[in-house]
Structure 1
Amino acid sequence: MNGSNAPSSSDRRQAELREFLRSRRARLSPSDVGLPDAGRRRTPGLRREEVAVLAGVGVSWYTWLEQGRDIKVSEDVLDAVGRTLRLDPVERAHLYRLAGLNPPQARSEPSLPASPELLRLLDAWAPRPGYIRDRHWNFVAVNDSARLVFGYGDIDHNCLISFFTNARYRVRHQHWDETAPAVAASFRADAARHPEDPEFDRIAAELAAVSPEFAELWDRHDVGEHTNAVKAVDHPEAGTLVFDATLLPLPQLPDHHLILHNPRPGTGTDARLEQLMRQRSLVVTHPG
């Protein structure tokens, strides 16, 4: 195909918007939205006129929206159309993007307990360290390996706070000084994704009051992503342990992440980690 005849990105988006709205109309019947059923229809689903009336918009305007015309679109109107078509959150965000708007910010989700399946995954990941944190970096679940390797104790409830205030963790982290700016910048980036959520400011303010290092870094207003990292730990019993740390989103727990640490190849970490866990198991099995 000649490149000059290829559809533009705007044309493709308009075509997708047209087909998306048509398909959402087609899956609803009049009775689904409280309208009387007038018998069989030539095409399944709601008519454009019915969607327009239920959404409180003009019939011509809704027709132009489906046709992908260059019209002014507001969030309130898209929300009304989305409610009428019974769109779920993923479909609603898709509609926003197709209409040329940024999807609305997700509501603040509270910390949710990990499912039994996720807890079994953390246990199965041992002897490698792993944990789950919520949107505010609170620990939701931590496996025994992570507690043993990083020095997390009963008072450690938040990943960010522990990074800056847990003396055991800090002394073990080989590159704490180099890593700290990226950690603070990542937390600020997460806070920027949820400007309506005051909990980020509360955590940052309370941490800055007790950690001069964090206060200085927070005042820089740096932002950055922190999804992958190499983490080197000087463990008092096992020696140097080096991990590839990967942060994975959990779709079943909105705004929660699973952080897995995998021994870095060629560092001997795998063998030392297994020996450490065996020794600790013997101590627990035969105390004293």
Structure 2
Amino acid sequence: MSESTNALGAYLRARRELVTTQQAGIPDVGVRRVPGLRREEVAMLAGISADYYLRLERGRDRNPSVQVLESIARVLHLDDDHFAHLLTLVAQVPRRRRRRGRRQTPPAGALKLLHSLAQPAFIEDRYFDILAVNRLATALSPGLAVGRNQLRDLFLDPAEQALHPEWENVTECFVANLRQAVGTDVDDPRFIELTGELSLASPRFRQLWARHEVRGQRGTPLRLDHPQVGEMTLNRERLTINGADDLMLIVYHPDAGSSDAEKLALLGSAALPTSDTKDQEVARTPRR
């Protein structure tokens, strides 16, 4: 049974394999043929029968109680984000209808705001496709351009990888956020296309995707190593547009009066428009 037809089982199995016997407080005796905990060990620690837990992983029971899920979450060391994701895999909640096969167009007001900002900024969708940018964003990274996909560039573009001294942490965060953003909508064509391409092309992506990490992106400092101005740390803010979670405004800004602010100002000077240069405002087909 595939992940799309048994999302709950795939998630439980992946998270179970990440918990060590030491974390679970189980004596590590003999040779273990499976990574992490065995099914019967999870069941014992959660206070449920091994047969019932097996039915959950195999997709034969998709309506466990919240109390059972809380017990399993405790054993699997799920934090709030991971437990919230677990609930979406079993709750009988109608999926929100989304536009498929069509690129979204950012609202006019959001575009005006984007181009009024004096800091690097761009608009992305839930797949990290870039829909609109301002000049300073592209000066910060050529990969921040309309039609590019940040996940694809992070895993497959050496220049984009060199920009991130903490590349491993950044990729882990992006993949975990993609899991959260897509949720149970795993039959979405764009999602299938993107994850399929990256799974074939990047061992690092395959490794992270198999972990089923779930995490929301929040405001955080981001270290960059720019080829022109060197290392700097910028604050990365991710803001929803019109209260929806499908479109996000991303803004990079330095601490006031810092050397990072001076370096960003240098990039801004180099990015001043010429008479034949315009900001990108209209989405093109994503680069494949």
TM range (shorter): 0.5 to 0.7
Which residue does 1:212 correspond to in 2? 203
Structure 2: state its 5+ residue gaps: 1-90, 276-288
Taking a change above 3 Å as real, the CA distance of residues 215 and 246 of structure 1, as seen in their structure-2 partners, is same
Q: Any residues of structure 2 matched to 1:40-119 within 5 Å, and which?
A: 104-109=94-99, 110-119=102-111
% identity of equivalent residues: 25
Distance in 2 of aligned mates of 1:113 and 1:168: 28
User: Residues 89-141 of structure 1, C-alpha deviation per residue, up to 9 Å, x if partnerless?
Assistant: xxxxxxxxxxxx87532111343222332222112213x21111123221110
8 Å CA contact 1:232–1:242 kept in 2: the answer is yes
Scaled by the length of structure 1, the TM-score of the pair is 0.57
Q: Are 2:121 and 2:137, in contact at CA under 8 Å, matched by a contact in 1?
A: yes
Q: Is the 8 A contact 2:132 2:146 kept in 1?
A: no
Matched, 1:277 2:241: no
Residues 254 and 234 of structure 1: CA distance in aligned 2, closer, same or farther (over 3 Å): closer
8 Å Cα contact 1:135/1:255 also seen in 2: yes
Residues 170-191 of structure 1: CA deviation (Å, up to 9, x unaligned): 1011211122112111111112
4+ runs of 1 displaced by more than 4 Å? 153-156
Aligned to 2:272, what secondary structure does the other structure show? helix
Name the structure 1 match of 2:112: 120
For residues 240-259 of structure 1, what are the alpha-carbon distances to aligned partners after superposition, in whole Å with 9 as ceiling and x for unaligned?
22111111111276611111
The letter of the residue matching 1:184 is: V
> Contact conserved, 2:133 with 2:144, CA < 8 A, in 1?
no
> For the Cα contact (< 8 Å) 2:125–2:247, is it kept in 1?
yes
Paired with 2:248 and 2:150, the residues of 1 have a C-alpha distance of 12
Evaluate the alpha carbon distance shift between residue 264 and residue 227 of structure 1 in structure 2; reply closer, same or farther with a 3 A threshold: same
Partners of 2:244 and 2:213 lie apart in 1 by 27
**In the alignment, is residue 189 of structure 1 matched against residue 198 of structure 2?**
no
Aligned residue type for 2:228: E
Instruction: Tell me, yes or no, if the aligned pair for 1:151 and 1:168 is still in contact at 8 Å.
Output: no
TM-superposed CA distance for 1:206, in Å, is: 0.9
Q: Which has the larger radius of gyration?
A: 1
Give the count of matched residue pairs: 185
Structure 2 CA distance for partners of 1:193 and 1:255, relative to 1, 3 Å: farther
1:235, distance to aligned residue in structure 2 (A): 1.0
Equivalent residue runs for 1:143-154 within 5 Å:
143-152=134-143
**Aligned AA (1:104):** P
More helix by share: 1
Instruction: State which of 245, 259, 274 in structure 1 corresponds to 2:250.
Output: 259
The letter of the residue matching 2:103 is S
Of structures 1 and 2, the one scoring higher in RCO (CA 8 A, sep 6+) is 2
Q: Is the 8 A contact 2:238 2:249 kept in 1?
A: yes
In structure 2, C-alpha distance between the alignment counterparts of 1:271 and 1:159, rounded to whole Å = 26
- Residue of structure 1 equivalent to 2:239: 248
SS of residue paired to 1:231: strand
SS state of the match for residue 94, structure 2?
A: coil
Distance verdict in 2 for CA 1:183–1:118, change over 3 Å: same
Provide the residue aligned with 2:121 in structure 1: 130
Cα distance between partner residues in 2 of 1:268 and 1:103: 49
Which residue of the other structure, out of 175, 179, 182, is the alignment partner of 2:170?
179
SS in 2 for 1:255: strand
Separation in structure 2 between the aligned mates of residue 202 and residue 257 of structure 1, nearest angstrom: 21
Distance in 2 (CA, whole Å) between partners of 1:191 and 1:205 is: 15
Report the Cα distance in structure 2 between the residues aligned to 1:153 and 1:247, rounded to whole angstroms.
15
Distance in 1 (CA, whole Å) between partners of 2:157 and 2:120 is 17
User: What is the match of residue 86 of structure 1?
Assistant: none
Q: Indicate if the aligned counterparts of 2:138 and 2:144 stay in contact, CA closer than 8 A.
A: yes
Partner Cα distance (1:135, 1:178) in 2: 19
Q: Which runs of 5+ in 1 are unaligned?
A: 1-100
TM-score by length of 2: 0.57
Amino acid at match of 1:107: R
d(CA) in 2 for partners of 1:104, 1:251: 22
TM-superposed CA distance for 1:154, in Å, is 5.8
Pair 1:163–1:156, CA change in 2 (3 A): farther
Question: 1:151 offset after TM fit, Å?
Answer: 2.7
Match of 2:154 among 144, 158, 163: 163
Asked if the contact 2:176/2:216 (under 8 Å) is kept, the reply is yes
